[in-house]
Amino acid sequence: MGVKQLFDLTGKVALITGGSRGLGLQMAEALGEMGAKLALTARKADELAEAKAHLEKLGIEAITVASDLSKFDQIPGLVDAVLKHYGKLDILVSNAGATWGSPAENYPDDAWMKVINLNLNGMFFLTREVGKRCFIPQKSGKIIVTASIAGLRGNPPEMGTIAYNASKGADVNFVRALASEWGRHNINVNAICPGFFPSKMANGLIDTLGEKIIAGTPLGRIGGPEDLKGLVVLLASEAGRHISGQAIAVDGGSMAF
C-alpha cells in the first residue's frame, strides 16, 4: 500500500466530541479533508450549526448531535444517532473538555466534579459505549483522546488547575491501559497532548502568561490552526496502525526542558 493510501480515510466515519470549535474543529477539518464522514457533538446547537456549515463549505460531510457528555444518560443516544445516520463508526476523537482555575486548598467541590466528570468520566463512558457496540464487534477502531501536556507534568503555581492536570494525567494512563486491553480487538488507543493553543479554554491563560509560555517553548510560538492536523490523521488512519498506547506532545518542544 502506498503512503497516500495509508493516510486515506475515505469511507470511514469519525465522531468528534467538542467538535464545534477550537481543537476539535481543527481535527474535524483534517479528518474530513482525508475523506472521513463526520459526526460532531457538543453542548451548544448553534455552535454545532456553524461548524457544520463551515465544514460543508470545505466539501466535508458532517452531521451534528447536541449532547452534554457530563450527563452520562445522554451517551447511548449520541451513539444511536451516529449509527442511525451512518450505520457504523470507525474513529472516536474524545476532545470535549473543561477546566477551572483555583488554588488547590480552596478548590470548590462542584468545580472538581465538573472537570473530572467531563474530562475523564464522560470520556470513559462514551469510549465504553463505542467499544462495546462498534469497535469490538467489528474488530477495528481508532480511539484518540485529547489529553494535554498538563497531564505529563505540573504547571506554574499561578495557573491553579489541579483538577485539569489530574484529569489529563488520568487520560494519559487511560490510553495506555485501554490500548493494552483492547489491542487484541485490533483497536488503537492513543492520546494527543497539546501545549498551548488559542481556544476559548486557554485564551485567558495565554493573555496572562503568553510571554512566559513562549519563552519556555523552543520553537518560540504557541500552537496554530493546523498544528494538530497531521498527527490526528496519522493516528486515525492505517498509517498509524502500529502506534498504540502513546501520549504524543504537540507543544513546540516545551516538554524537552
The full DSSP string for 218-253 is TTSS---TTTTHHHHHHHHSGGGTT--S-EEEESTT
Contact 115, 162 (CB under 8 A): no
Phi then psi for residue 126, to 5 deg, are -70, -45
* Complete domains list, the chain, with CATH: 3-249 (3.40.50.720)
Query: Is the model more confident about 207 or about 153?
Result: 153
Contact 2, 77 (CB under 8 A): no
pLDDT of 211 reads: 73
On the CB side of 70, how many CA atoms lie within 13 Å of its CA? 15
| CA–CA gap between residue 78 and residue 81 (Å, rounded) | 5
Q: Is residue 164 flagged as an active site residue?
A: yes
User: Which member of 86, 164, 182, 197 is catalytic?
Assistant: 164
Classify residue 102 by its DSSP letter: B
Compute how many other C-beta atoms are within 10 angstroms of the C-beta atom of residue 163.
Answer: 24
pLDDT digits (tens, 9 = 90+) for 115-125: 999 999 999 99
Task: Report the mean per-residue pLDDT for the chain.
Answer: 94
Whole-model pTM above 0.75?
yes
pLDDT digits (tens, 9 = 90+) for 231-254: 999 999 999 999 999 999 999 998
Which amino acid belongs to residue 85? Answer: H
Compute how many other C-beta atoms are within 10 angstroms of the C-beta atom of residue 33.
Answer: 15
